[in-house]
Amino acid sequence: MIIARLSALILVTGLLSACAGQSVVEPPVELGNFKMGLNIVVADNPQKVPISREAKPQDLDDSLTKALQARLGRYDGDKFYNLGVSVDAYALAPPGIPLVLSPKSALVVTATVWDDAAGTKLNEKGEQFTVFEGIDGDTLIGSGLTRTPQQQMDKLSFNAAKRIELWLSDHPEWFGLPPKPKPVVQSTK
């Protein structure tokens, strides 16, 4: 009976691992005339969650800069837009007790986008995002046990870049496209 349960757990973990993939990048979304100009990441003084593994600010900066360039540098519009992102806080999961205490990794960033030619900020106030590693075969038992701090940072950076791309696509008017239609609220009277 114990062997059957253990085999089932190994099978499920294997299936989840096969379905997961950080390097899988979806096709680009519609961003009109967007072309990445400056990609400025600032991780001068990020807040560390008390139970987190230690991360050097430069490592956070480098990881997020690389992820943003990979994700947003693929757009070949005809107008440059500059992106500024600050790393506000992070938590890199330490090793825990599998399936009992499995801390999760998280990253909090604030993003701003500028029209390079006009020299104007497109979002009046920075947009803050909190992203997590997600659940896959590596994080099922806790990423602190299965990933190095650098691997955790890279996964968080990948997810932050993906979330920022989604945010940009929610504002097509910034990139020479018609605005998204406002949702229609139905009255229940």
Q: Are strands 34-42 and 127-132 parallel, antiparallel or unpaired?
A: unpaired
Task: Identify the CATH number of the domain in which residue 141 sits.
Answer: 3.30.160
Q: Which two tokens stand for residue 95?
A: 């090793």
Report whether 133 contacts 155 (CB < 8 A): yes
Indicate the SS3 state at residue 147. Answer: coil
Find the Cα–Cα–Cα–Cα dihedral 60, 165, 125, 52, rounded to 10°. Answer: -30
pLDDT at 71: 96
The H or E element that residue 120 is part of is strand 120-121
- In terms of pLDDT, which residue wins out, 9 or 171? 171
Does some domain include residue 106?
A: yes
Does some domain include residue 5?
A: no
Which residues, 6+ apart, have CB-to-CB distance to 68 below 8 Å?
A: 36, 39, 41, 83, 85, 157, 160, 161, 164
Instruction: Estimate to the nearest angstrom the gap between the alpha carbon of 171 and the chain centroid.
Output: 18
State which residues form the domain around 53: 32-174
Does some domain include residue 187?
A: no
Does some domain include residue 182?
A: no
d(CA 21, CA 155): 10
Please, how many CA atoms are within 13 Å of residue 60, restricted to the half-sphere of its CB?
Answer: 26
pLDDT tens-digit map of 56-89: 999 999 999 999 999 999 999 999 999 999 999 9
Q: Tell me the pLDDT band of 145, cut-offs 50, 70 and 90.
A: low
- Provide the number of structural domains found in the chain: 1
pLDDT tens-digit map of 84-127: 999 999 999 887 655 445 677 899 999 999 999 999 999 999 99
Q: The whole model's pTM is what?
A: 0.78
Does some domain include residue 41?
A: yes
Does some domain include residue 126?
A: yes
Report whether 91 contacts 50 (CB < 8 A): no
Q: Is the pLDDT of residue 46 over 80?
A: yes
Does some domain include residue 62?
A: yes
CB atoms within 10 A of CB 27: 5
Q: Tokens 């072309």 sit at which residue?
A: 35
Does some domain include residue 186?
A: no
d(CA 109, CA 19): 27
Report whether 36 contacts 77 (CB < 8 A): no
Query: 169 - beta bridge partners?
Result: none
- Which amino acid makes up residue 99? L
Share of the chain above pLDDT 70, in %: 74
